[in-house]
């Protein structure tokens, strides 16, 4: 049995005062806001109208959530690379995984933070 909720361990218990800015935004020079337009990542808890912070400078690796432009539309996808094939995954039954060529999409940045008001 664990009492994680009662006795936080690791990094958390060192947090005394936290600046939300520095906690949420790792690099202010390359960070942009983006308002989520669809529910394709609902399964991993990213909903339509959530605000996300996108870092333009980082390069994606497998498992990262990325903001991509496909045919002039912006959308969030899960980036997966299997050898030379790139898969843009979703997390919603209505949105199938996409197997696209490099020139068919453009990566606008990597999602580093999700912001949602209750």
Is there a catalytic annotation at residue 77?
A: yes
Rule CB under 8 A: say whether 32 interacts with other proteins.
Answer: yes
Of residues 3-22, which lie at the interface with other proteins (CB under 8 A)? 21
Interface segment toward other proteins; rule CB under 8 A; list 2-10, 31-39, 40-48, 91-99: 31-39
Hunting for tokens 């936080």 — which residue is that? 8
36 burial type by CB count under 10 A (0-12 exposed, 13-18 middle, 19+ buried): buried
Our answer to whether residue 40 is catalytic in this structure is yes
How far apart are alpha carbons 66 and 79 in whole angstroms?
6
Residue 96 to residues 34, 77, 88, 117, 118, Cα–Cα distance (Å): 22, 11, 9, 28, 29
Q: Does 103 interact with other proteins (rule: CB under 8 A)?
A: no
Of these residues, 19, 37, 40, 91, which one is catalytic? 40
Give the footprint of other proteins on this chain (CB under 8 A).
21, 25, 27-35, 53-54, 56-57, 67, 69, 72-74, 106, 108-109
Q: List active site positions.
A: 40, 77
């Amino acid at each position: 049995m664990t009492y994680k909720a009662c006795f936080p361990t690791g990094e958390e218990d060192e947090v005394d005062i936290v600046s939300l800015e520095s906690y949420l935004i790792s690099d202010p020079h390359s960070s942009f806001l983006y308002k989520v337009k669809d529910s394709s990542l609902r399964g991993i808890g990213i909903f339509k109208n959530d605000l996300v912070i996108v870092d333009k400078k980082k390069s994606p690796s497998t498992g990262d959530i990325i903001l991509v432009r496909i045919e002039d539309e912006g959308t969030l996808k899960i980036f997966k690379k299997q050898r030379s094939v790139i898969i843009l995954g979703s997390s919603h039954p209505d949105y199938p995984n996409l197997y696209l060529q490099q020139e068919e999409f453009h990566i606008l940045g990597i999602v580093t933070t999700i912001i949602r008001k209750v």
